[in-house]
Every structure is written in C-alpha cells, then in structure tokens.
C-alpha cells in the first residue's frame, strides 16, 4: 500500500479490500466474458456507500480527501478495473457541478447519487474526441427550457446513470465560447440510449451513446453561464485524469502480484523462473514503474486536496500511469509465457483492461499537449 492515509481511511480501505476480494475479484471474470452489467456487485458496493466517497459531508456523503479516494480506487482496480472505472467516472460529473453549479444543482446531483445511482459525464461525440471543441450537439433556448439535439458517444455509465453532465453548443458561431454544460436526468423525454459498446476491456463498466432528440430540459439545468461549458469540461478533466492514472496503477500492481506468484511456482530448468535474473529484473522494473506512477498520482491528489494548481501533474499521473499499466501487463503476460495468453489465467484480462487508460479521458497524446502547453507557457 503506497498511499499514506489516515487511520480512518485505513479502516475503510480494509473493508473495501475484503469486499473486493470476496465479491468482485473472482466474480468479475464471468462478467468480463459476457459483457453483462454486474448489477448485483454494484448494488452491494452501493450499500457500502462506495458511490458517495467524493460527496462532501454537508451534502450527505463521506467527504473523503482525494488521496484517500485514490487509495480506495486502486484497491478496487486491483480486483477489476471496470468496477473501479464505474465509480471513478461517476465522480466526474460531481466535479463539474461543484465547479460551476448552484446550491440547488449541487443538492440535486448529490441526492441523486445518495439515492443509489451513478452519474455520467458526456463531452465526447462521434466527430469530437480529442478535438473536444468540435461538438455538434446543440442546445437551443426556448422559453424557460433548452432543447437538446445530438449524440454523445463512449459515455461511461451511459444507460446506468441517474443524471448526466452534458455539453452542448448554445452558439456554434462562438466556437468553444459557445459551448455550455447542462444537467440531464435519465428518463427525460427525448433522451434515449444508443449503441452499447462491446469493449475489449473494462467490460464490467457500461459504455453507451446518449441520444438527444428534441429533448427539453428546464433552463435551470444550465451549469454556470452559457459559454462556460468548455472551461467546465477542461477543469473537470484536470481533476479526473489523476484518478484514471490511479486505476491504471491498480491494474499494474495486480499484474505484478500475479507475475510474482506465478513466477515462484513455475519450475523450468529445475528452478522457479523468478530465480532467473532476466525475470527478477523484469519484476524489479515493474516495481520501479508502479511505485513511481503511484507517487505521481498521490502528488497530483495532494495538490488537488491543497487547492494548489494540478492540471499538469494530473495529466502526467494519467499518461504515465496508463503507459506503466500497459508495459507492466505486457511483461506479466510474457512471464506467464503461453499460459499468459490463455483466458484461464488472469493476466490477459489485465492487458486488455490496461489499453483503454492510454485512450480514455484524453488520449496520452492529448496529455502531452496539456503537459507541453504548461511547460512552454
Ligand atoms: N482549465 C481551464 N481552462 C482551460 C483548460 C483548463 N484545463 N484547458 C483549456 N482551457 C481554456 C484555455 O485557456 C482557452 O481559453 P481562452 O480562449 O479564454 O484563452 C480555451 O480553453 C481553449 O484552450 P485550447 O486552445 O488549449 O483548446 P483546444 O481546442 O486546443 O483543446 C485540448 C485543448 C487540451 C486538446 C482539449 O480539447 C482536450 O482536452 N481534448 C481531450 C478531450 C477529452 O479528454 N475527452 C474525454 C472526455 S470524457 C467523456 O466524454 C466520456 C466519459 O465517459 C468520461
């Protein structure tokens, strides 16, 4: 455990570890095979209040600091990355609401989560991925409503959330200054779910298109002012990216543990394979990378907790953590040899799960845009 946490967090962490060991780790294998949404696992996790870690105490949540949340998410990710992603992404919208929302919006969002629901954050569109400003979803003011038309894609928790933060253009002629952000509730007429992604990894999480067809929402669902949407989205992602790095570290940690356990058992040429320096050094390299990535996540979270600038550090934690997860899981498969390629053993799933972290919440190439913008300005 590489995070230095309070005694209170340690206790919660122990409970989360037990839960993940008993209720998630083995069970997630079948959900990975079928791609089915593991509702019963999530129901139990919600009973444990794991969906409200980030909600401030005054709004009825656990109000944990970001470092504690990272420690807990890593534990979840060691059991199943898709499971951790569901909770991590559910916190993204919360960040937007606490950045720009009114008291009433904050309360509504928190109450929805506390009632046992997840949330979603919808920026990406089919033609607006890395180029987030190219969104075509429109929001037209009509009396005391906005009317939304368009489609969002690759939305984590799409289809299983109770409420979403959705960006849409209120004035396309103004470019990014014409993008706004709204709260949209599940069940709003004109709001439906589209294609459900059949993903390579993190299959215990849900990813779906959101479709808006003359969807009328109350004007009071606008977050901040018209034109604030791009900034809200960027500031939100600045925080959430550190947690993507954190989940990636959890995958890498699990892969290293699996490789060590297997390498001690696997006898070749009359001795355990870990007794070969070439394998021992692979494991040492894993440890170096994992611990470094974890400490970068911890540093970014500490800066967030302290209210100091963290955009660059969060991007580094995300990009580095994801690259480490990819490298470590590939090496873990290598140490397992032919068995590593078999679905019977756990490491091929870890390798499939790892890949998305180099893509999601801004590709690692985009993180390098963010980082270089910071160091060059
Ligand atoms: N905080 C505050 N303001 C910011 C900012 C930040 N982090 N980043 C940019 N801005 C502001 C800039 O200051 C600038 O403002 P001014 O015009 O007033 O000077 C404005 O935004 C435009 O900035 P850029 O010129 O840098 O914008 P850009 O169009 O070149 O794009 C980008 C920058 C970093 C590439 C951005 O588009 C980006 O992050 N792309 C990746 C998007 C992404 O991560 N998508 C994943 C979304 S997750 C999702 O939708 C699904 C899900 O399930 C989670």
Which numbered atom of ligand 1 lies nearest the CA of 207? Answer: 53
If residue 311 lies in a helix (H) or strand (E), which one and from where to where? Answer: helix 311-336
Cβ of 124 less than 6 Å from ligand 1:
yes
Q: What is the pLDDT of residue 128?
A: 95
Task: Please give the pLDDT value at position 1.
Answer: 60
Residue 279 alpha carbon to ligand 1 centre in Å? 42
Contacts of 276 (CB under 8 A, 6+ apart): none
Binding site membership of 310 for ligand 1 (Cβ less than 6 Å): no
For ligand 1, the distance from its centroid to the CA atom of residue 48, given in whole angstroms, is 35
Instruction: Report whether 254 contacts 299 (CB < 8 A).
Output: no
| 18's tokens | 């037990």
Beta bridge partners of 35: none
Average pLDDT, the chain: 97
Query: Which ligand 1 atom sits closest to the C-alpha of 373?
Result: 26
- Which residue has 């129901």 as its token pair? 43
Residue 131 Cα to ligand 1 middle (Å): 8
Q: Which atom of ligand 1 is nearest to the CA of 366?
A: 35
Count Cα atoms within 13 angstroms, Cβ side, for 357. Answer: 39
- Using a 10 angstrom Cβ sphere, with 0-12 exposed, 13-18 middle and 19 or more buried, the burial of residue 344 is exposed
Give yes or no for residue 122 CB within 6 A of ligand 1: yes
Q: What is the pLDDT of residues 96-148, one digit of tens each?
A: 999 999 999 999 999 999 999 999 999 999 999 999 999 999 999 999 999 99
For the chain, residues with pLDDT lower than 50 are none
How far from the centroid of its chain's Cα atoms is residue 51's Cα? 13
pLDDT (0 to 100) of residue 2: 77
Tokens of 364: 């690692």
Q: Of 142, 162, 92, whose CA–CA distance to 122 is shortest?
A: 92
| Residue that is written with structure tokens 């170096």 in the block | 288
- What pairing do the DSSP bridges indicate for beta strands 118-122 and 161-169? parallel
Among protein residues, the one whose CA lies closest to atom 1 of ligand 1: 235
Question: Tokens 């979403």, residue?
Answer: 164
Quick check: helix, strand or coil at residue 6? coil
Residue to mutate, 158, 193, 234, 316, ligand 1, most ligand atoms under 8 Å from C-beta: 234
Q: How far apart are CA 82 and CA 90, in angstroms?
A: 12
Residue 270 CA to ligand 1 centre (angstroms): 56
């Amino acid at each position: 455990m590489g995070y230095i946490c309070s005694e209170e967090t340690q206790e919660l962490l122990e409970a989360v570890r037990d839960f993940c060991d008993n209720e998630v780790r083995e069970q997630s294998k079948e959900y990975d095979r079928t791609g089915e949404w593991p509702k019963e696992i999530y129901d139990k996790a919600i009973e444990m209040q794991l969906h409200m870690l980030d909600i401030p105490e005054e709004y009825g949540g656990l109000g944990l600091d970001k470092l504690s949340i990272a420690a807990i998410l890593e534990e979840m990710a060691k059991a199943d990355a898709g499971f951790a992603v569901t909770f991590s992404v559910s916190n993204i919208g919360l960040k937007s609401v606490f950045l720009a929302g009114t008291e009433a919006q904050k309360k509504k969002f928190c109450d929805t989560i506390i009632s046992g629901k997840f949330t979603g954050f919808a920026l990406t569109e089919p033609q607006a991925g890395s180029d987030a400003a190219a969104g075509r979803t429109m929001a037209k003011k009509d009396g005391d409503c906005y009317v939304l038309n368009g489609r969002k894609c690759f939305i984590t928790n799409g289809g299983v959330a109770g409420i979403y933060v959705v960006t849409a253009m209120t004035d396309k002629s103004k470019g990014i200054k014409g993008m706004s952000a709204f709260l949209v509730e599940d069940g709003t007429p004109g709001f439906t779910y589209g294609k459900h992604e059949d993903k390579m990894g993190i299959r215990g999480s849900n990813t779906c298109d959101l479709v808006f067809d003359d969807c009328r929402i109350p004007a009071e669902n606008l977050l901040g002012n018209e034109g604030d949407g791009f900034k809200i989205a960027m500031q939100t992602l600045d925080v959430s990216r550190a947690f993507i790095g954190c989940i990636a570290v959890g995958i890498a940690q699990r892969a290293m543990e699996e490789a060590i356990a297997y390498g001690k058992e696997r006898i070749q040429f009359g001795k355990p394979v870990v007794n070969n320096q070439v394998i021992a050094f692979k494991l040492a390299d894993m440890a170096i990378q994992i611990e470094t990535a974890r400490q970068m996540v911890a540093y970014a979270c500490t800066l967030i907790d302290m209210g100091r600038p963290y955009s660059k550090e969060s991007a580094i934690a995300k990009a580095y953590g994801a690259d480490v997860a990819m490298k470590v899981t590939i090496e873990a498969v290598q140490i397992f040899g032919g068995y590593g390629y078999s679905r019977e053993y756990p490491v091929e799933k870890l390798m499939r799960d790892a890949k998305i972290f180099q893509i999601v919440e801004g590709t690692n190439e985009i993180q390098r845009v963010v980082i270089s913008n910071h160091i060059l300005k």
